[in-house]
Amino acid sequence: MTPTLFVLNGPNLEWLGQREPEIYGRDTLADVEQACHRAAEKAGFALRFHQTNAEHEMLALIHEARLGGNGLVINPAGFSYAAYPVLDALRMCKIPVIEVHISNLHRRETEWRSRSIMTQVVTGMITGLGTHGYVLAIEHVAHLCRVSDQLGS
């Protein structure tokens, strides 16, 4: 059976390419999805790619990933700062979880926007590498899965 990787995107990411392109670039979410499909296929994963502005939908997707996925890449976007139910759902994940941010959080204009509460429970974080961070996250999840398979053998 083909392992499954989930890529989940939070609020306002459907506006990629239009919203503040000087910060987030010109790639659209459809461009990101295509790049993720290519990277997942190359790594041997089936891909589930979703975007939601609703916290309850993000929770359902995280639970689906933790119960049926082999890895999770998440750009929590606006959920990064105060979505404690999302944090708690991620805390339950026993699969690799990589948090991705297109812009460099640490260079954001206000302190509260420069910190993600999700970092305390994720496997790792990629921030500030543009939309290419998604591809790097997929590659790293694939690496972690291979290492885990080797250790489990």
What tens digit of pLDDT does each residue of 79-132 get? 999 899 999 999 999 999 999 999 987 776 766 666 789 999 999 999 999 999
What is the domain extent for residue 53? 4-152
Catalytic residue numbers read: 24, 101
Calculate Rg over the CA atoms of the chain.
15
Domain count, the chain: 1
Residues 24-82: pLDDT tens digits?
Answer: 999 999 999 999 999 999 999 999 999 999 999 999 999 999 999 999 999 999 999 98
The CATH number of residue 58's host domain is 3.40.50.9100
Confidence of residue 149 (pLDDT cuts 50, 70, 90): confident
Averaged pLDDT score across all residues of the chain: 93
The predicted pLDDT at position 109 comes to 73
The predicted pLDDT at position 113 comes to 62
Burial (CB count <10 Å: 0-12, 13-18, 19+), residue 68: exposed
Give me the torsion for CA of 28, 33, 39, 42, rounded to 10°. Answer: -140
